Amino acid sequence: MRELAPAKINLNLLIGPLRDDGRHELASVMQSITICDRLEMTDGERDEVICPDVEAPNLAATAIAAFRESTGWDGPPQRIEIEKRIPVAAGMAGGSADAAAALRLLARRSGLGSPELLHDLATALGSDVAAQIRPGRSLVRGGGEDVRRLGEPEPFGVLVLPSAAALSTAAVYAEADRLGLPRSAQELAAIDPLEAGAVNDLQDAARSLEPTIDAELERARAAGASDALVCGSGPTVIGLFAAYEEAAAAAAHLGGSAIAARPLIGWPSIL
């Protein structure tokens, strides 16, 4: 069984106060794009996840254990192999996308797992996972558990500038707290993310930890992006263009690791 795990970008990301559960309140418009990891799940000797490009514990493995515990499924051990296309520790929810894709695979393989259960499992796994259960465009609030599906966007182009550096999400949030960047609960509630434009409240924290981001933001702007911002917790920088062809031309001009992508429209789809 095979499944795609699309990356996400944050078209905006507004951060509020720290909650008792250790997560920050947030509000964000998230958009899946056509850069995808590829997962293949087969019966194996034990439950395991093989992903040569990721050394840290893989969230997809946690998803397998959580699915079995919640559903009681005692089917054969599952081996998941992940071919990485999404940059690692880059703010594009690669690990979260893989975990969500693993849950979709397990639900298909077992015949168990309602959409509500998959949502609850995803929420427990991490703040980005629930929005990736059904890739597309979503408005996400709370600590990531409040997900509202939005309509499909008009086509546009995304320039992705991966970084050779890596940032942990926890480190970026901690730096944001140190810099006093989170908004109050009242300030966060007063903003409509659908009207907020391309703003990322974690951007200055990511820039503080990884100063090379500044040059990447300037490169995206110089390449013609209408907006350039850090994606999620970074350090990836994205540039937004009116059309994919413009983003593709910018990526070709910049060369190196620059990538052009489209918003993912019409999930499930063949990419």
Residues classed as catalytic: 8, 128
How far, CA to CA in Å, does 210 sit from each of 16, 94, 169, 205? Answer: 22, 20, 13, 9
Residue with tokens 């434009």: 197
List of E strands, 95-236: 137-142, 146-149, 157-161, 227-230
Beta bridge partners of 48: 79
State the Cα–Cα distance between residues 88 and 37, nearest whole angstrom: 11
Classified as helix, coil or strand, 129 is coil
**Nearest residue to 229 (alpha-carbon basis) of 191, 206, 199, 193:** 199
